[in-house]
Amino acid sequence: MGVLDVDEAAVQPADRLSAPAAHLAPARTGPRPPPRRLINNPVELARMAAQKVGTLDELRTVLQAFDGCPLKIGAKNTVVYDGRADAPILLIGEGPGADEDAQGLPFVGRAGKLLDKMLEAAGFSRKANVLITNIVYWRPPGNRDPTPDEVAVCAPFLTRLIQLKAPKLIATLGKSATQAMLGTDDGIMRLRGRKLQLVREGLPAPIPCLPMLHPAYLLRRPGDKAKAWSDMLAFAQLADEMGIKREGGL
């Protein structure tokens, strides 16, 4: 057998191979810091953002910067509210349509104009005693109903709006808004015109709430305008019972 030549540079003493690399990183002397909590839940992000809001104007600003709802990707504008900030009445609809998305305000299209006429006939208006918002703040594609997940992401902001607004009386407009706010699967035809109570986590007390037909539905089914007017009469009567001032009408 032959003898193999070994490169002496490749052979190192055992003590050099096993020596600790103390000079590469300082030794830890204290407890390991807790791991950073990464929050990827959009509902939790919305809740954290909403809790920091102190005014309705701040709410609008925070929502315009919030990217946790996928509806925002295809929307032109964030549609938050319209009307008097100190109004005793809050109307809650479903979500922005094409006109609302373009203008950045709720209920400004054909359905909104019909709603304004009905409100005015009963002594209500955005200038005097009404604030209007929706359960989602960006237009669903094709004006479809918002999904439960989309509603859930926007819910902390709506709760904060109600907390800041402290309305005396609420009307929910249409099936989606009524079911989302009242936590029910009952249809709007069964619930419309009934004097109910809005009970929501984060609110100090129940708020009187009356579901009504959505004005967009009335444009499609004008034969049901009599039902909608009956609901408006019930809403006006409830407002009177609660001492909410109306500007004439009826």
The string of pLDDT tens digits covering residues 28-44 is 566 776 665 555 799 99
| Residue 138: half-sphere exposure toward Cβ, Cα within 13 Å | 22
7 found inside a domain? no
User: Which domain, by its residues, includes 118?
Assistant: 42-241
Instruction: Please name which of 63, 59, 68, 64 lies closest in space to residue 40, comparing C-alpha atoms.
Output: 68
Q: For position 162, which CATH number holds?
A: 3.40.470.10
| Residue 155: half-sphere exposure toward Cβ, Cα within 13 Å | 21
Q: Is the pLDDT of residue 4 over 60?
A: no
Would you state the pLDDT for residue 201?
A: 87
122-157 pLDDT, tens digit per residue, is: 999 999 999 999 999 999 999 999 999 999 999 999
The strand ranges marked E within 125-248 are 130-134, 169-173, 196-198, 207-212
Q: Is the pLDDT of residue 76 over 70?
A: yes
Read off the tokens for 240: 């009177």
203 found inside a domain? yes
17 found inside a domain? no
37 found inside a domain? no
Q: What is the pTM of this model?
A: 0.83
Q: How confident is the model at residue 22 (pLDDT cuts 50, 70, 90)?
A: very low
Q: How confident is the model at residue 8 (pLDDT cuts 50, 70, 90)?
A: very low
11 found inside a domain? no
> Measured between alpha carbons, how far is 192 from 183 in angstroms, rounded to an integer?
15
34 found inside a domain? no
Residue pair 207/169 in contact (Cβ under 8 Å)? The answer is yes
> Measured between alpha carbons, how far is 65 from 171 in angstroms, rounded to an integer?
28
20 found inside a domain? no
206 found inside a domain? yes
The number of domains in the chain is 1
Mean pLDDT of the 15-24 span: 47
